[in-house]
A and B are shown apart, each in its own frame.
Chain A
Amino acid sequence: DAKTTQPTSMDCAEGRAANLPCNHSTISGNEYVYWYRQIHSQGPQYIIHGLKNNETNEMASLIITEDRKSSTLILPHATLRDTAVYYCIVRVAYSGGGADGLTFGKGTHLIIQP
């Protein structure tokens, strides 16, 4: 069963901020929120992750609501190269035992318009 819900597709104008929402209403207290993206014909690329505090790195910002039931990935100044499928994933940090990998849904296809 999907743990996250994302819009199928979104458009954003080049140079504007792209805000990608993700709902994860059943998230557990020990589960992190991860974002990956997949540019056409490439493997997925890690973007950012967080537990409950907002996070920022050189690629993006991650805003997690106080109840942790949803989050937003922000690309501050979108470029044409940011056109990709963006995946929101929730999972626990490894705590021993067998690994279960990353569970990808269908993601959001973000199209940056010139």
Chain B
Amino acid sequence: ETGVTQSPTHLIKTRGQQVTLRCSSQSGHNTVSWYQQALGQGPQFIFQYYREEENGRGNFPPRFSGLQFPNYSSELNVNALELDDSALYLCASSLGLASYEQYFGPGTRLTVT
């Protein structure tokens, strides 16, 4: 196990609703990245936070937003949920921006109906 935890494990939401997913980084890790993994696909990068600031973003619309807190835990918020948002959402923590290794949590399975 990596020491990265995510909650909840599973979640079912209705189209148009909003959702917040949470991630607790490995101790001492100040960088967190979020990924979306659709069924049968590899994870896709959503964005990264470093010391509470967004540091980079993939090809995701603004309704995907995030926060990182002083203790380096983080949230992923998705507004106006669409059916295609159904996926496994993974967070990964690392020690600094130049770290070679990212430590992934087990993910949150989001189903949008």
Contacts and interface: CB of A to CB of B under 8 A. Distances in A.
A interface, size bucket: 20 to 34
A101 B97 contact: no
A101 B101 contact: no
A99 B2 contact: no
B43 A102 contact: yes
A95 to B, nearest CB: 8
B interface, size bucket: 20 to 34
Interface in A49-105: 49, 85, 87, 93-94, 97-105
A104 B43 contact: yes
A45 interface: yes
14 contacts: A43-B2, A43-B4, A44-B92, A44-B102, A45-B2, A87-B42, A94-B98, A99-B55, A99-B56, A102-B35, A104-B42, A106-B40, A106-B42, A107-B42
Contact of B58 (A97, A100, A106, A107): A100
Interface in B65-113: 90, 92, 97-98, 100-107
Given A98-B55, A100-B56, A44 B100 contact: no
B7 interface: no
A85 B40 CA distance: 10
B106 A93 contact: no
Contacts of B35: 101-102, 104
